[in-house]
A and B are shown apart, each in its own frame.
Chain A
Amino acid sequence: DGGITQSPKYLFRKEGQNVTLSCEQNLNHDAMYWYRQDPGQGLRLIYYSQIVNDFQKGDIAEGYSVSREKKESFPLTVTSAQKNPTAFYLCASSIEAGGYNEQFFGPGTRLTVL
């Protein structure tokens, strides 16, 4: 089945540690996105990539980093510079860039900083 997978589902990290969230898609989509979801805040865009080896900052990129070395993979690193990293993280993809294209979402990773 085609889709988006995110791993792990739950992630715990100590303060001061970097952690990487995985996002893989087998939909052959060009564009991929990372969102952060907090209660009552909706979805906020962290980074997005329109094509391999290219990515742009979203609204809340500080404290995060990404790479897009392969079309199917778009990992997100939450660095120690992110002051409040506890949140639900969602990865999405669309066939091409352009907000008018339907975005397909993964099941999410819930990150908790201990």
Chain B
Amino acid sequence: AQSVTQLDSQVPVFEEAPVELRCNYSSSVSVYLFWYVQYPNQGLQLLLKYLSGSTLVESINGFEAEFNKSQTSFHLRKPSVHISDTAEYFCAVTPSGNTPLVFGKGTRLSVIA
């Protein structure tokens, strides 16, 4: 069975500083990996995903994540955060096929002015 570990439950960071949100997964098969973002009192939105190909994937708002198979990680990074990035971020994994996503417990990113 797959599982996802988000190592930090809360990450405070000053505006314009870099940030990394860590995600590790466990699976014995090839996986698809996702980051979703949840703004306060809203549903989740897809931020970026890795299905195959280049191990570095990017979102339209400056986030990127790198799939590292040897370390079973999919850490999310942004070189310079904005106040508007304050949200909860969820890493999720699924193996190939019709298996539903398994979500991590989330990391709450708080950007401080």
Residues of A within 8 A of B (CB): 4, 33, 35, 40-45, 48, 50, 58, 90, 92, 97-100, 102-103, 105-108
Tell me, yes or no, whether B49 is within 8 Å of chain A by CB.
Answer: yes
- Residues of B in contact, count (CB < 8 Å): 26
Q: Cβ of A48 and Cβ of B43 under 8 Å apart? A: no
Whether, in the assembled complex, B17 has its beta carbon less than 8 Å from a beta carbon of chain A, the answer is no
Contact call B98/A97, Cβ cutoff below 8 A: yes
Taking CB atoms, residues of chain A closer than 8 Å to B44 are 43, 90, 92, 103, 105
Other than the known A99-B101, A100-B96, what 10 A-B pairs have Cβ atoms closer than 8 Å? A33-B100, A35-B103, A40-B106, A41-B105, A42-B90, A99-B92, A99-B93, A99-B100, A105-B45, A107-B43
Is B83 interfacial (CB-CB < 8 Å)?
no
Could you give 15 example pairs across A and B, Cβ below 8 Å? A42-B104, A43-B44, A45-B100, A98-B94, A98-B99, A99-B92, A99-B94, A99-B99, A100-B94, A103-B46, A103-B101, A105-B45, A107-B41, A108-B42, A108-B43
Q: Give the chain B neighbours of A48 by CB distance below 8 A.
A: 100
Question: Which B1-40 residues sit within 8 Å CB-CB of chain A?
Answer: 6, 9, 32
Identify the closest chain B residue to A100 (Cβ).
B32
> Does B62 sit at the interface, judged by CB under 8 A?
no
Tell me how far the C-beta of B50 lies from the nearest C-beta in chain A, rounded to whole angstroms. Answer: 10
Q: B97 and A43: CB pair below 8 A?
A: no
Closest chain A residue to B32 by CB distance?
Answer: A100
User: What residues on A are CB-neighbors of B56 within 8 Å?
Assistant: none
B100 touches A105 (CB 8 A): no
Q: B51 within 8 Å of A by Cβ?
A: yes
Residue in contact with B100 in the complex, picked from A58, A102, A107, CB distance below 8 Å: A58
B79 to chain A, nearest CB (A): 25
Could you tell me the distance in whole angstroms from the C-beta of B1 to the nearest C-beta in chain A?
Answer: 10
Question: Which B residues are CB-close (under 8 A) to A102?
Answer: 46, 49
